[in-house]
Structure 1
Amino acid sequence: MSYQDTTQNIAKNLKTLHQDMPKLMQGFGQLSQAALENSVLDTKTKEFIALAIAVEKRCDDCIAFHTKALVKLGANLQEIEEVLGVAVMMGGGSSLMFATHVLDAFHEFSNQAAK
């Protein structure tokens, strides 16, 4: 499974939804921008929170997008691993299994960014 392919396929389908349901997608886009903008917490911290929730919710697609965003924001492996520790604390064994998916995604997107 390629996380790069996952984000590209979802982005393509989201574009279709944007064309077919523009109000819904604009609303969600505005919600996302408002939630992630730098404020008391910076965007990187908010993406860490979103990643932990994605792991706890067991959403591979969410893991892909939030890991990709964190790589772009300069997150390092140690930061990612600390976030995964909190996600596992909150979600137990099944979150531990999905935490391993984040490591795969992180390495894939990090290698992509280095090129």
Structure 2
Amino acid sequence: MGTTSYPELTEGISKQIGQLRKGIPDTMKGFSAMAQGATANAALDEKTKELIAMGIAIALRCDGCIGFHTKTLVRLGATRQEFEEMLGVAIYMGGGPSLMYAAQALDAWEQFGGQ
């Protein structure tokens, strides 16, 4: 579909994040702690929280976020139906621009081997 390789995109961003961990370690430790706290299983499970994060990634039009959250959703065993229903809500809430990014997110899903 698209020209973006989400596995390559996330790999490249991960390398740069590694550099940021060296250059601004306190900031990155704080961000990691926030991410762990926000995604920990509680009233909502991790997969549900990742589906929410993915909807936000689409609404904010963040290619890197789409890549990382899609990869995580595949790892967590999200189904294609769950993924597509989340895309539907994102499109509903964001209109045409979200439709474009939802299509890209579906491409990322397929690239990461989502079933």
Fold match, TM over 0.5? yes
Alpha-carbon offset, residue 76 of structure 1: 1.3
Unaligned stretches of 5+ in structure 2? none
In the alignment, structure 1 residue 47 sits paired with structure 2 residue 50: yes
Alignment partner, residue 39 of structure 2: 36
Unaligned stretches of 5+ in structure 1? none
Alignment partner, residue 80 of structure 2: 77
Aligned pairs for 1:1-115 (under 5 A) are 1-110=4-113
Structure 1: distance between partners of 2:39 and 2:55 = 15
Alpha-carbon offset, residue 31 of structure 1: 0.2
Corresponding residue pairs, total: 112
Tell me, what secondary structure is at the counterpart of 1:110?
coil
Higher helix share: 1
Alpha-carbon offset, residue 110 of structure 1: 1.0
Q: Note the alpha carbon deviations across 1:62-82, whole angstroms, 9 max, x for none.
A: 000000000000011111010
Q: Note the alpha carbon deviations across 1:4-52, whole angstroms, 9 max, x for none.
A: 0011000000000000000000000000000000000000000000000
Tell me, what secondary structure is at the counterpart of 1:70?
helix
Structure 1: distance between partners of 2:27 and 2:36 = 14
Would you identify which runs of 4 or more consecutive aligned residues in structure 1 move more than 3 Å?
none
| Percentage of pairs with the same residue | 51
Normalised to the residue count of structure 2, the TM-score between the two structures is 0.95
